[in-house]
Structure 1
Amino acid sequence: MKNQEELRELPDKDLKERLDAEVIELNQLRINHTITPLDNSGLLREKRRNIARIKTELRARELKKDQ
Structure 2
Amino acid sequence: MKTSEIKELTDKEILERIQLETETLVRLNMNHAVSPLDNPMKIKVARRNVARLKTVLRQRELNQN
TM-score strictly above 0.5: yes
Gaps of 5+ in 2: none
Give, as a single letter, the amino acid of the residue that structure 2 aligns with 1:44: I
How many angstroms apart in 1 are the aligned matches of 2:29 and 2:3? 25
4+ residue segments displaced more than 2 Å: none
The yes-or-no answer on 1:6 pairing with 2:41 is no
Alignment of 1:8-47 (within 5 A): 8-47=7-46
- Tell me the SS of whatever aligns to 2:13: helix
Output the aligned Cα RMSD. 0.4
Alignment of 1:44-63 (within 5 A): 44-63=43-62
How many angstroms apart in 1 are the aligned matches of 2:57 and 2:33? 31
Gaps of 5+ in 1: none
Give, as a single letter, the amino acid of the residue that structure 1 aligns with 2:33: T
Q: TM-score, normalised by structure 1?
A: 0.95
